Amino acid sequence: MIAVGLVCPTSYPIPVRKTSVYLPEPLKNRLAQLSSAVGTSEAELIRDAIDARLTRGTGTTTGERATPDRPVPGRLVGVGVGPGPAEAITIGAIDALRRADRVVAPCTGLDVVGRAETVVRQAAPDVAVERMVFVMQPDHEARAGALNNVCDRMVDYLEAGEEVAFITLGDPNVYSTVSSVFSGVRSRRPETTFETVAGVMAFQALAGAGGVVLTDEQQSMVLLPASAPEEVIAQELSDRSRTVIFYKGGGRIAAVADQLEAADRLDGAVLGELIGMPGERIAVVPDVRDRPASYLSSVISPAPTGAGPVPVGNIDMATAKAEVEEPNRAGTVTP
């Protein structure tokens, strides 16, 4: 006797993509898109994905990371992006953005796309970004009012069980609105879990773009707002083995240049304006000292001295370094 229910039909009433029969509709569509984009059959992609998961412990074969962890309800994550080119965003940041239930960006008006949002749009176009208005002008009351609104809304989302990612330019722990948002949310909702995802800082992007070595050997480095008291700046500049970096100096380039000149450090100082953005300008400070720059400007005065050989015990580091760097012409093994 033949059990009719077990007979495999030779034709189907509707077309069936046998390779993706178990997949939900959105995943099927993404599979079809990837298949036509990379010219590999859907079956091959599925085989690869299963193989990657079972054999190599990763979830993808396309160079992307496996699906990020699940969102944690009530967690607020400060995510650093940019500020250099969009490709400087970290994989950790992209994971955090994709994992979050909501991604929030600071802006100066609801119709203004901020720099951090622009980076996210370029690096992860699939991530939807919600803007929240901040007031950047010195008006203390207006600033505090805007910050309060932002924190209230954040708390609503966190209370609803969402994980919220708040994006910021550069690193969230360096001169960032993230710290004010965290403290406003903490005072309203102490049980919130806070996390930050490090980002590439503006001065690092400038050092890369301007070919500047920030520190070497025994040198040190300090980051200051250009509005710091003159005597503090003079003190830092007087240490010639210290690299001095100025943030927030766009409108005060002339004053910064004067201070550098007084410390005999004008030559070699580099300005980076709008790094990674349209209109980017990298210049030596003497060439631009009479031109005000935008708020998104940073200046690096590299340490004039202090790099080079460091004696360690009886070892002459200059010789040791040269030995490591010199090819071994005799072909013998050096320790």
Ligand X SMILES: C[S@@+](CC[C@H](N)C(=O)[O-])C[C@H]1O[C@@H](n2cnc3c(N)ncnc32)[C@H](O)[C@@H]1O
Q: How far is the CB of 212 from ligand X (least distance, A)?
A: 13
Binding segment (CB under 6 A) for ligand X, from list 3-11, 61-69, 155-163, 172-180:
172-180
Contacting ligand X (CB under 6 A), which of 97, 275, 285, 288? 275
Residues 6+ apart with CB under 8 A from 296: 83, 115, 202, 250, 273, 274, 275, 277
Site for ligand X in 295-324 (CB under 6 A): 295-298
Q: How far is the CB of 48 from ligand X (least distance, A)?
A: 38
Give the CB-side neighbour count of residue 154, counting CA atoms within 13 A: 36
Residue with structure tokens 């190599």? 56
Among candidate residues 62, 27, 64, 19, the one with its CA nearest the CA of residue 44: 19
What's the residue count for the chain? 335
Contacting ligand X (CB under 6 A), which of 170, 184, 210, 302? 170
Contacting ligand X (CB under 6 A), which of 95, 117, 171, 236? 171
* Residue closer to ligand X (CB basis): 146 or 275: 275
Binding flag, residue 274, ligand X (CB under 6 A): yes
* Residue closer to ligand X (CB basis): 31 or 245: 245
Binding flag, residue 81, ligand X (CB under 6 A): no
Among candidate residues 188, 175, 199, 223, the one with its CA nearest the CA of residue 77: 199
Binding flag, residue 88, ligand X (CB under 6 A): no
Interface with ligand X (CB under 6 A), residue total 21
Other CB atoms within 10 A of residue 70 CB: 8
Contact residues for ligand X, defined by CB under 6 A: 83, 169-171, 174-176, 201-202, 247-248, 272-277, 295-298
